[in-house]
Amino acid sequence: MNPALLRLAAALFIWGLGEGTFFFFQPLYLAELGADPFEIGQILSGVGIAMTIVHIPAGYLADKVGRRPLLRLSWLAGLISTIMMASARTLPLFSAALILYSLTTFVISPLNSYVTAARGKWTVERALTLISATFSAGMVSGPLIGGWLGDRFGLRSLYIAAVIVFSISTFLIFSLPPQPLHRSAKEFSPKSLLQNKRYLGFLLLIFFVVFALVLPQPLAQNFLQEERGLSLSQIGILGSLGGIGTVTLNLVLGQIGARVGFLLAQLATALFALLLWRGSGMGIYGFAYFLLGGYRAARSLAAAHVNSLIDDAQMGLAYGVTETVAMFPLILAPPLAGYLYSTDPVAPLPFGVMLIFSGIILTLIFFPRTRSAT
């Protein structure tokens, strides 16, 4: 493995450990601060908006000024916003800090570009899914730590712990070497990317699939706590199993073709929603959260396939547009999930299953061929 990728993987693993400590409990802490289910959906929708608007500018800048400066900026902003979340004592202040933290997702486009450029002889699918797996490996232990801390010291302590962990990750990211710009990056206009019909068609497919995969998730932890009586520690265990599933499915599905892997990732997420809906007991719920790893695997495989549809000089911008499209469901799905949950706490699950299987059918029909295949 390229030494730069090894260092980046270490930084992502440590960041995943810190984020996993609090991320899984976010809806519960919002409720503790006074938000009802519909308000939680609205706040998470605001998070989705923040995560959506940043990717195209970040991808464009990654092509024009380089990837390392944007990596450094994202890590530093994430650390500062986590300090703000740990300091906030009211719902409005915490929500503002959470949205600021969400803006740091602009790092995905330069991160994917950095990994793609540094992958050496690896396939793009293998490189991106491996890097995603290292982040998720950190998140395996995070929910266990978060559940333990939450039960003993309250949910606010999770954010304090994350600040300490994030500081170490930030130090590592500032030690990464720079990468040269693509020699023809200045010759390409964003308009040429928008004339790529195969790429644009794939964006539409990604939008629908991600929306379907997201819908069962926003209030799943609330469902298990309020309707199934699980404790914070038990929910933390499920979050860790979800991290193990993400690592496993990323590594396994990254070794096969993007189309087949994308289909299997959707099927795994459908089974997650189905098992929460119809199953009972920690064994079933644990297996369900293991299968939820298909969601992140699907995102990684979609990004990897984009690289085969575009020119390398447009890599950052293409990744940025792709992430923007993939983030729109994070705006639209949480309010719908909140509304469905308010009418019937189980409702987001069967509705999500139906949409995911619709996405599988659309993938079988419309998944685009690569440049070499055409």
153-197 residue pLDDT tens? 888 899 999 999 999 999 999 988 887 766 544 555 567 777 888
| Model pLDDT, residue 267 | 97
What SS3 state is found at 182?
coil
In a domain? residue 254 = yes
Tell me the helices (H) and strands (E) count for the chain, helix number first: 18, 0
Task: Give the separation between CA 28 and CA 357, rounded to whole angstroms.
Answer: 29
Residue 101's alpha-carbon distances to 74, 107, 143, 216, 235, in angstroms, are: 9, 12, 19, 23, 23
| Average pLDDT for 60-89 | 90
pLDDT (tens digit, 9 = 90+) per residue, 10-63? 999 999 999 988 887 888 888 888 888 788 878 887 887 887 788 888 888 887
Tokens representing 47 are: 């998070």
Categorize the per-residue pLDDT at 72 as very low, low, confident or very high, splitting at 50, 70 and 90.
Answer: very high
In a domain? residue 257 = yes
pLDDT at 263 exceeding the cut of 90: yes
| Model pLDDT, residue 100 | 92
Tokens representing 67 are: 């990837």
| Model pLDDT, residue 371 | 54
Higher pLDDT, 309 or 277: 277
In a domain? residue 59 = yes
Question: To the nearest whole percent, how much of the chain has pLDDT over 70?
Answer: 95
Task: Give the separation between CA 108 and CA 322, rounded to whole angstroms.
Answer: 10
pLDDT (tens digit, 9 = 90+) per residue, 98-109? 999 999 988 888
- Residues 6 or more apart whose CB falls under 8 angstroms from that of 282 comprise 230, 234, 237, 238
| Average pLDDT for 301-314 | 81
Read off the CATH number of the domain in which 249 is found: 1.20.1250.20
Higher pLDDT, 189 or 225: 225
Q: What is the dihedral of CA 307, 312, 317, 318, to 10 degrees?
A: -20
CB 340 within 8 A of CB 351: yes
Look at the chain and report how many structural domains it folds into: 1
In a domain? residue 229 = yes
pLDDT at 73 exceeding the cut of 90: yes
* Residue type for position 97: A
> What average pLDDT does the structure give for the chain?
87
Helix 124-153 × helix 232-253 angle, to 10°: 170
Tokens representing 252 are: 């396994």
In a domain? residue 189 = no
In a domain? residue 182 = no
pLDDT (tens digit, 9 = 90+) per residue, 227-243? 998 987 888 888 878 88
| Model pLDDT, residue 190 | 65
For 296, the domain range is 3-173+196-366
DSSP E strands, the chain: none
Task: Give the separation between CA 168 and CA 54, rounded to whole angstroms.
Answer: 25
pTM: predicted TM-score of the whole model, two decimal places: 0.74
Residue 23's alpha-carbon distances to 52, 75, 142, 225, 366, in angstroms, are: 18, 16, 9, 16, 34
pLDDT at 374 exceeding the cut of 50: no
| Model pLDDT, residue 67 | 84
| Model pLDDT, residue 189 | 57
Higher pLDDT, 176 or 287: 287
| Model pLDDT, residue 363 | 96
In a domain? residue 374 = no
Higher pLDDT, 260 or 232: 260
Residue appearing with tokens 């290292």:
134
Higher pLDDT, 152 or 213: 213
| Average pLDDT for 303-323 | 81
pLDDT (tens digit, 9 = 90+) per residue, 8-22? 999 999 999 999 888
pLDDT at 372 exceeding the cut of 60: no
Task: Give the separation between CA 88 and CA 368, rounded to whole angstroms.
Answer: 46
Please choose, from the candidates 338, 330, 333, the residue with its C-alpha nearest in 3D space to the C-alpha of residue 99.
330
Alpha helices in 215-292 (DSSP H): 220-226, 232-253, 258-278, 282-291
| Model pLDDT, residue 45 | 78
Task: Give the separation between CA 158 and CA 86, rounded to whole angstroms.
Answer: 8
Categorize the per-residue pLDDT at 218 as very low, low, confident or very high, splitting at 50, 70 and 90.
Answer: confident
138 phi/psi in degrees, rounded to 5:
-65, -35
In a domain? residue 178 = no
